[in-house]
């Protein structure tokens, strides 16, 4: 669920580039190694240069207006396809193949509208249903929807994150009251635990690759918080990771190295933040209102971004796979 537009000017994206070998450097190395080995070296160098040139450049994957302005929840399924909420109308989930063709996957029960989606290692789909305050479940190979957990006392479960051990976390903003955000944990048996109240406008949420950290952002307040996460799923030691000076935030996901990719709503960029809170880069997008993102593709390095102002999906190649890539790979037959 994305925040209202903020009246701030668009910030200039900071682009960081990977340094590649110059022709002079390659020639110097060539004089020091045999000809046969140099051919292999040159091929590797050229491939690396091409790879660097292709990363972090956004392009369209699904065109304008395919999804509603409530487009959200991108998640890569065990079949490699992309699943996104609100295809054509609210209350639906679309399936997008590798060519960008979107088809209807399922329609949610009457009165339900999805937001965040995640897939478990067994291929189970979990969906945050914000009007009915539920976490929905769809079994692998099925389009039948059931209630996995009900969050009594929730405002509207928004985005969800799934730890490798099967624990779910859900953000729960109150868009009408800035200091009433909540944070939930849903265990593997469907039991529900309210972890924190009185937060800002809780939105994006993610678990670190080692499972020892939980990240939560507050859209309106522009804070990203980090907690220590214990083996039983409990959290402690809340501290500020980074705060942005303008625009807003929405969904976020980690890569395999623990870098956090954050949708900067109204800024038109994906911010990449290191585990120590350092801003590494900003990836410019065509749309201004990114609502969420996920990793996918054959090597886990393709990032898919949902754009609320376009009803579209943009994509770019990252230099590392997403942290859930191993989970998706293990779920394949």
Indicate whether 169 and 261 sit together in one domain. yes
Indicate whether 45 and 100 sit together in one domain. no
pLDDT at 66 over 60: yes
Q: What angle, 0 to 180 degrees and rounded to 10, lies between the N-to-C axes of helices 23-30 and 35-54?
A: 160
> Which token pair is 171?
């953000």
The answer to whether residue 33 sits within a structural domain is yes
Indicate whether 264 and 131 sit together in one domain. yes
Indicate whether 159 and 301 sit together in one domain. yes
CA dihedral 143, 185, 238, 216 (to 10 degrees): 20
Backbone angles phi, psi at 54, to 5 degrees: -90, -10
Indicate whether 160 and 258 sit together in one domain. yes
- Residue 226: which of 300, 266, 276 has the closest Cα? 276
The answer to whether residue 103 sits within a structural domain is yes
Indicate whether 47 and 69 sit together in one domain. no
Find the CATH number of the domain harbouring 242. Answer: 2.120.10.30
Indicate whether 70 and 40 sit together in one domain. no
Mapped onto helix, strand or coil, the DSSP state of residue 200 is: coil
Could you read off the pLDDT of 261-299 as tens digits, one per residue? 999 999 999 999 999 999 999 999 999 999 999 999 999
Range of the domain at 46: 18-54
pLDDT band at 52 (very low <50, low <70, confident <90, very high): low
Query: For the chain, how many structural domains are there in total?
Result: 2
Task: Give percent above pLDDT 70 in the chain.
Answer: 82
CA 88 from centre of chain: 22
Backbone angles phi, psi at 325, to 5 degrees: -60, -40
Indicate whether 91 and 240 sit together in one domain. yes
The answer to whether residue 245 sits within a structural domain is yes
- What whole-number distance in Å separates Cα of residue 322 and Cα of residue 325? 5
Dihedral of alpha carbons 175, 176, 182, 187, sign: negative
> Which token pair is 248?
């807003």
Indicate whether 39 and 135 sit together in one domain. no
Indicate whether 147 and 40 sit together in one domain. no
Q: What is the pTM of this model?
A: 0.85
Could you read off the pLDDT of 210-219 as tens digits, one per residue? 999 999 999 9
The answer to whether residue 101 sits within a structural domain is yes
The answer to whether residue 230 sits within a structural domain is yes
- Listed residues 9, 36, 54: the one ending a domain: 54
């Amino acid at each position: 669920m994305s925040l209202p537009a903020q009246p701030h000017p668009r910030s200039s994206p900071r682009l960081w580039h990977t340094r590649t070998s110059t022709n002079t450097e390659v020639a110097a190395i060539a004089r020091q190694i045999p000809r046969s080995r140099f051919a292999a070296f040159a091929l590797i160098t050229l491939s690396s240069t091409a790879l660097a040139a292709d990363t972090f450049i956004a392009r369209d994957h699904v065109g304008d207006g395919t999804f509603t302005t409530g487009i959200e929840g991108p998640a890569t399924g065990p079949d490699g396809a992309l699943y996104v909420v609100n295809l054509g109308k609210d209350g639906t989930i679309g399936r997008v193949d590798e060519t960008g063709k979107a088809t209807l996957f399922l329609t949610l029960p009457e009165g339900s509208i999805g937001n965040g989606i995640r897939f478990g290692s067994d291929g189970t789909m979990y969906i945050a249903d914000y009007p009915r305050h539920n976490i929905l479940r769809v079994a692998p190979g099925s389009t039948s929807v059931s209630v996995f957990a009900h969050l009594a006392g929730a405002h509207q479960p928004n985005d969800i994150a799934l730890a490798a051990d099967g624990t779910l976390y859900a953000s729960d903003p109150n868009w009408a009251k800035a200091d009433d955000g909540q944070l939930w944990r849903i265990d593997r048996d469907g039991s529900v635990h309210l972890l924190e109240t009185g937060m800002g406008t809780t939105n994006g949420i993610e678990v670190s690759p080692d499972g020892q950290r939980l990240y939560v952002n507050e859209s309106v307040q522009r804070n990203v918080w980090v907690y220590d996460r214990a083996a039983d799923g409990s959290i402690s030691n809340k501290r500020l990771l980074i705060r942005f000076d303008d625009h807003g935030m929405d969904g976020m996901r980690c890569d395999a190295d623990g870098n956090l990719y954050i949708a900067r709503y109204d800024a038109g960029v994906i911010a990449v933040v290191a585990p120590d809170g350092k801003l590494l880069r900003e990836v410019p997008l065509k749309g201004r209102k990114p609502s969420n993102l996920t990793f996918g593709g054959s090597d886990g390095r393709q990032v898919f971004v949902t754009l609320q102002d376009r009803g579209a999906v943009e994509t770019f190649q990252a230099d590392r796979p997403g942290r859930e890539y191993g989970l998706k790979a293990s779920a394949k037959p």
